[in-house]
Amino acid sequence: MKVLLSPHGIGIGTLAQALRAHGVDATACSYSRDVYSYLSDICLKLNEHPYKEREAIRKAFFHEAMNKYDIFHFHFGETFFTDKSDLKLLKDRGKKLIVHHNGSDARLLSVARSFHNPYVLVKQNWPEERVHANMRLLSAYIGHAIINDNELMPYVKPYYQHIHVVPYAINVRPIVPHYPSPEAKPLIVHAPSHREIKGTEYVLAAIDRLKRKGYPFRFKLLENLPHHQVVHLYKQAAIVIDQLRIGTYANLSIEAMAMGKPVICYIRDDLRGTFPRGLPIVSANPDTIFEVLKDLLNRPSDWRKLGEEGRSYVEQTHSYEKVAQKLIPIYEQL
């Protein structure tokens, strides 16, 4: 089978690598150049061309891809064309299609709030009417959907015949863990991809409050940095803070756990049991981040144990081998 994963994000590159490690001919294509496109095998750089050229490049690649690939794995609710007209053409050619929802492209604020999560936010460019319309259009041609964990299940379940949970993938082997040990001024880091969605204002408020109370530590807000610099600062960190609103974890938490770091991230109580056993993430939301971070700072003897548990969890749940073993049988069902 020949698989094309598109159009952007960390997931298309990591999943393509995981599949290739298991002998699948998989290619990741980013349509535009962005912070994650370096992970892709192909980048069309559409955002670097005028509109007419951009559309010509897009159409040319679509026809090339339609002749080359058997399976089309679309992420973030997007396909080749904004009107989804490509789906019928692909279906008529007998191509296998699957959609991979990752977050705001499926998350409905009204439904999320019904799960007693007053903290959740969605991106403004994905209002509910757009989410509903997009999933209706996608599910008219696509029967199988993938989600990274059960947090998105209530949003996608009404639309697709088959829903599969496939964890995020990470290449664990080359990542050398740097387990933290007690030190005089430990480093705390927070790397938000979207400040509002991640709850960064509450992280900063907690950090400021702890500093005023005299707690000795260093803090780095990691924004607009090349990935290698972020990794370098992760290695030095004693504690990594991820998001405080959504109720689940994603790539930042996974990468930090792979490096052996204690991670703070909001895990909804009702979702905790849906993850594989052993998830060591310390949960905090906007109301509790100050107390949770203070408590973790007060028990440095636990940092290494949390780091070791995180590393083990990622190896068992998110390694290329584990993820590919889940994904390949799904492709075979299409």
State the total domains in the chain. 2
Task: Give the tens place of pLDDT for each residue, 221-276.
Answer: 998 888 788 889 999 999 999 999 999 999 999 999 999 999 999 999 999 999 99
Q: What are 275-309's pLDDT values in tens digits?
A: 999 999 999 999 999 999 999 999 999 999 999 99
Banded model confidence at residue 124, pLDDT cuts 50, 70, 90: confident
Q: What's the pLDDT band for 114 if we cut at 50, 70, 90?
A: confident
Q: What residues have CB less than 8 Å from 330, skipping those under 6 apart?
A: 98, 144, 146, 164, 166
Cα–Cα dist 240/189, whole Å: 5
Do residues 279 and 151 share a domain?
Answer: no
176, part of any domain: no
Banded model confidence at residue 122, pLDDT cuts 50, 70, 90: confident
Q: Strands across the sheet with 2-6, in order?
A: 42-43, 25-30, 2-6, 71-75, 96-101, 144-147, 162-165
Q: Is residue 231 part of a domain?
A: yes
Q: In the block, which residue shows the tokens 């990741």?
A: 28
The per-residue pLDDT for 29 is: 97
Dist. CA 156–CA 154, nearest whole Å: 6
The answer to the question of residue 175 being in a domain is no
Residue 110 pLDDT class (50, 70, 90 cuts):
confident
Same domain? For 121 and 225 the reply is no
Which pLDDT belongs to residue 296? 97
pLDDT for residue 201? 97
209 and 305 inside one domain: yes
Alpha-carbon distance of 284 to 295, in angstroms, equals: 11
Residues 23, 69 within the same domain? yes
Rounded to an integer, what distance in angstroms lies between the CA atom of residue 182 and that of residue 115?
A: 38
**Angle (CA) 215 248 310, round 5°:** 65
178 within a domain of the structure (yes/no): no
241 and 268 together in one domain: yes
Are residues 159 and 210 located together in one domain of the fold? no
pLDDT band per the 50, 70, 90 thresholds, residue 35: confident
242 and 141 in one domain?
A: no
- Are 160 and 43 part of one and the same domain? yes
In this predicted structure, what is the pLDDT of residue 91? 97
The full length of the chain comes to: 334
Q: Is pLDDT of 72 > 80?
A: yes
Q: Which residue range is the domain that position 251 belongs to?
A: 187-317
pLDDT tens digit sequence for 153-201? 999 999 999 999 999 999 999 999 999 999 989 999 998 888 998 999 9
Is position 287 within any domain? yes
Q: What is the mean pLDDT of residues 51-63?
A: 95
* Whether the predicted pLDDT of 115 surpasses 80: no
pLDDT at 88: 97
Q: What confidence score (pLDDT) does residue 276 get?
A: 95
Q: Are residues 202 and 259 in the same domain?
A: yes
Assign 39 a pLDDT band (cuts: 50, 70, 90). Answer: confident
pLDDT of res. 4 = 98
φ/ψ of 191, rounded to 5, equals -125, 80
Residues 73 and 213 in one domain: no
Q: Is residue 179 part of a domain?
A: no
Is pLDDT above 90 for 93? yes
Give domain status of residue 177, yes or no: no
Quote the percentage of the chain above a pLDDT of 90. 87
User: Are residues 313 and 327 located together in one domain of the fold?
Assistant: no
Q: What is the structure's pLDDT at 173?
A: 93
Structure confidence at residue 175 (pLDDT): 95
Say what the pLDDT of residue 125 is. 82
Residue whose token pair is 């949003």: 155
Q: How much is the mean pLDDT over the chain?
A: 95
What's the CATH number where 297 sits? Answer: 3.40.50.2000
